[in-house]
Amino acid sequence: MANRRSALLNVMVAAAQKAARKLVRDFGEVENLQVSRKGPADFVSAADKTAEQTLYRELAKARPGYSFLMEESGAIEGKDSSNCWVIDPLDGTTNFLHGLPHFAISIALERDGEPFAGVIYEPVHDEMFWAEKGQGAFLNGNRLRVSGRANMDEALFATGIPFKGARDHPQFLSQLEAVMAVSAGVRRFGSAALDLAYIAAGRFDGFWETGLSPWDLGAGIVIVREAGGFVSEINGGPKMMESGSILAANDKLHGALGKILRESAKKTS
C-alpha cells in the first residue's frame, strides 16, 4: 500500500511537528533547571500547556467544529459531535521533568466513539508514528508490522508501574512476577503512547497497564491495530478508552499474555 498520508493525517502530523519544536527547546531548558532549588516542575507544566494550546489552535483551524478532549483543558464541545480530537501534549511528563529523552505528543481522532486515526510523535529522535483506520500503520513513511514472535520466552513486554497513590500495587506485582517468570524481559519506559507505538513497530511484543486516560490510548490503539496487533482491556473487553485498562500485543501472544495477567490478578483479589 502506498504510504501517502491522507489530508486528515497531514493536518495531525503538521500540528504535532509545530507543538514539538517548542517542546524540544523546553526540554533543553529542563536540564539547566534540574539544579535549581525550586526544580523544574512548574516549568514543565507550563511547557505541557503551551504544547496543548498549539495543538488546539492548529487542529481547530484545520477542522473547525470538531470537538476536543485534552489532558490539560478537558472537553470542548464542537458543532461536529461525531468527530473528536483526543490529545496528550506531553506523554511521559515525568521523563521530561527528569531530563530523560523519552516522551511524545499523542493525537487521536475519535469518530463516532471509535479511534479512527492516530499520530504519536517522539521528537527527540524524530520518530513519527501514524495510522488511519483501514490504511495501515507507518513510521516516517515505512510500513509497520507487529512482531512475529510466538513464544513467551522470546518475547519482550512493556508495562506501566503504579506509582504513589495508586491502589493496585499487589495486583500489579503479582502480574509482573508471572510475566517475568515466562518472558525474555519486561520494560517500563514511562510513556504509554510510545509503548503502544513500539508494539506496532515490533520492538515490544506486548504491553499492559491500568489506570490510563483516553488521551494516553487513542492514537496507540489505531496504530497497533493497523500494524496487525490486537488491543483489548486486560479482561478481554472492548472499552479501553473508558476503563483505562489495556492489553496490546502481536496477534500470536495477545491471548497467552491476557491469560497470564488475568490468572495472576485473581490471586490478589
Q: How confident is the model at residue 266 (pLDDT cuts 50, 70, 90)?
A: confident
Q: How confident is the model at residue 168 (pLDDT cuts 50, 70, 90)?
A: confident
Do the Cβ atoms of 137 and 200 come closer than 8 Å?
Answer: yes
Could you write out the three-class secondary structure of 60-82? HHHCCCEEEEECCCEEECCCEEE
Least confidently predicted of 26-40, 45-59, 219-233? 26-40
Do the Cβ atoms of 118 and 139 come closer than 8 Å?
Answer: no
Q: How confident is the model at residue 1 (pLDDT cuts 50, 70, 90)?
A: very low
Is the domain spanning 152-266 CATH 3.40.190.80? The answer is: yes
Q: Where in the chain are all domains bearing CATH 3.30.540.10?
A: 7-143
Burial 169-188 (b: 16+ CB within 10 A, else e): eebbebbbebbeeebeebee
| N-to-C CA span, the chain | 46
C-alpha–C-alpha distance, residues 16 and 19, integer Å: 5
Partners of residue 67 on adjacent β-strands: 84
CA 62 to chain centre: 23
Question: Cell 489506570, residue?
Answer: 211
The pLDDT tens digits of the residues spanning 59-94 come to 999 999 999 999 989 999 999 989 999 999 999 998
Percent of the chain with pLDDT over 70: 93
Q: Where in the chain are all domains bearing CATH 3.40.190.80?
A: 152-266
Is the domain spanning 7-143 CATH 3.30.540.10? The answer is: yes
Do the Cβ atoms of 30 and 6 come closer than 8 Å?
Answer: no
